[in-house]
């Protein structure tokens, strides 16, 4: 089965589950956090370092890559894995979400979306068929359906219309994807915060049949409580024997709450983006390294962390290089944040496997509630 993508659940604890997705490019331990490598690089990191944090899979952005350096160019150069020097699995999004959030002068029709590039104003088109073609050119291991994602809040009619359009696009994506051994196609559930629309969307996707199912259209401004309430029922409509992927999530406590509700995969720019703005995620919560309280602090960011920022440097150093706008600041804090996110995932995988998820979750929240160490 080395040329097929398979999913196996090895343990459950409540709704939470742990397992593995097997692909020709390696195993993805679940629940998995996928660092985002937007423009064929996880910002401020070399791929070997990303792997050292514990990542089994990266996410690439169709929208960015189709505009620069273009999917055709990446294909000529041997595909995205070789291009960015990451030989393990890559999931690509469909471009749909970022066309809506980044490009100019969009026009949405039944066929797809035409838009202008945010880089040079050039005109482009994305359709389910073109998105499948681009993701095939990139050589993505896990391909996402092309969908439309309305910003929340939106009225029910808008959400319903968008969802049924996305379901028609999901069927076209499935047809265009065809049969590609070793590559998976995931459907994306929509329906906003409306339980019946979520259920209707899930049924439509299952009827089409996918290798995995994403929960889309969340983490777009609705707040954690609403997101969790939606997940409480949304995941229940999705098949138990396929991976469930919550797109664009999230903060550490969002991730833990999503896994608790049966999510297997997540991605977010938060650990890398925050690393470049001086924000570190630790077991004790968020630390803003630019704060003057750190300037004479010889202690590490987190004395129990295994990353180079914590084993090699003081808070005073991290503060200094952030203030001096040195590249090593973003490099070290990104490495730390990605390590912390992967350590959360490893902790949850292990806790679920031994039936200790509730205890693990309690400790996770209790440690965060303690807050950062006292200033010197």
Q: Cis (ω within 30 of 0) for the bond into 154?
A: no
Smallest distance from its own copies to CB 242, Å: 34
116 or 320: CB nearest its own copies: 320
State the DSSP H helix or E strand holding residue 162, giving kind and residue range, or none if neither: helix 156-177
- Per the CB < 8 A criterion, the answer to whether 190 and 94 are in contact is no
Smallest distance from its own copies to CB 48, Å: 8
Closest by CA position to 337, among listed 310, 367, 365, 300: 310
Smallest distance from its own copies to CB 299, Å: 11
76 or 107: CB nearest its own copies: 76
Smallest distance from its own copies to CB 49, Å: 9
91 or 307: CB nearest its own copies: 307
151 or 327: CB nearest its own copies: 327
Closest by CA position to 282, among listed 334, 321, 319, 337: 337
Give the β-pairing of 32-35 and 58-60.
Answer: unpaired
- Per the CB < 8 A criterion, the answer to whether 63 and 103 are in contact is yes
Smallest distance from its own copies to CB 32, Å: 23
Give the β-pairing of 123-126 and 58-60.
Answer: unpaired
For the annotated catalytic residues, the residue numbers are 93, 267
41 or 282: CB nearest its own copies: 41
Q: Label residues 263-294 b or e (16+ Cβ within 10 Å = b).
A: bbbbbbbbbbbbbbebbbbbbeeebebeeeeb
- Count Cβ atoms below 10 Å from residue 161 Cβ, excluding itself: 14
Binding site for its own copies (CB under 8 A): 39-41, 43-48, 68-69, 73, 76-78, 83-85, 295-296, 298, 308, 312-314, 316-317, 319-321, 323-324, 326-328, 330-332
- Per the CB < 8 A criterion, the answer to whether 264 and 19 are in contact is yes
């Amino acid at each position: 089965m080395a040329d097929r993508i398979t999913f196996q659940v090895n343990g459950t604890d409540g709704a939470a589950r742990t397992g593995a997705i097997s692909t020709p490019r390696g195993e993805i331990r679940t629940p998995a956090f996928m660092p985002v490598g937007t423009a064929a690089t996880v910002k401020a990191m070399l791929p070997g370092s990303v792997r050292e944090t514990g990542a089994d899979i990266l996410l690439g952005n169709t929208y960015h890559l189709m505009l620069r350096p273009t999917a055709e160019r990446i294909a000529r150069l041997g595909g995205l894995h070789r291009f960015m020097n990451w030989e393990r699995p890559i999931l690509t999004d469909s471009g749909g979400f970022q066309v809506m959030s980044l490009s100019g002068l969009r026009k949405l029709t039944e066929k797809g979306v035409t838009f202008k590039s945010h880089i040079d104003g050039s005109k482009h088109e994305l359709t389910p068929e073109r998105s499948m073609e681009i993701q095939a050119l990139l050589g993505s291991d896990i391909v996402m359906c092309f969908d439309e994602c309305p910003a929340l809040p939106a009225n029910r009619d808008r959400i319903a219309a968008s969802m049924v359009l996305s379901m028609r696009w999901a069927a076209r994506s499935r047809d265009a994807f065809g049969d590609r051994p070793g590559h998976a196609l995931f459907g994306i559930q929509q329906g906003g915060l409306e339980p019946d629309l979520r259920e209707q969307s899930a049924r439509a996707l299952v009827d089409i049949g996918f290798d995995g199912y994403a929960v889309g259209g969340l983490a777009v401004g609705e707040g954690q409580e609403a997101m969790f309430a939606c997940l409480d029922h949304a995941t229940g409509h999705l098949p138990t024997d396929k991976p469930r992927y919550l797109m664009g999530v999230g903060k550490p406590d969002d991730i833990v709450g999503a896994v608790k509700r049966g999510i297997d995969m997540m991605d977010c720019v938060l650990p890398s983006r925050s690393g470049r703005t001086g924000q570190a995620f630790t077991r004790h919560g968020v630390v803003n390294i630019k704060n003057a309280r750190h300037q004479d602090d010889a202690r590490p960011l987190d004395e129990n962390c295994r990353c180079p920022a914590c084993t090699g440097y003081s808070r005073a150093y991290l503060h200094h290089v952030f203030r001096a706008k040195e590249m090593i600041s973003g490099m070290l804090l990104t490495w730390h944040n990605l390590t912390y996110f992967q350590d959360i995932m490893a902790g949850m995988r292990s806790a679920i496997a031994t039936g200790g998820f509730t205890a693990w979750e309690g400790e996770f929240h209790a440690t965060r509630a303690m807050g950062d160490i006292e200033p010197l």
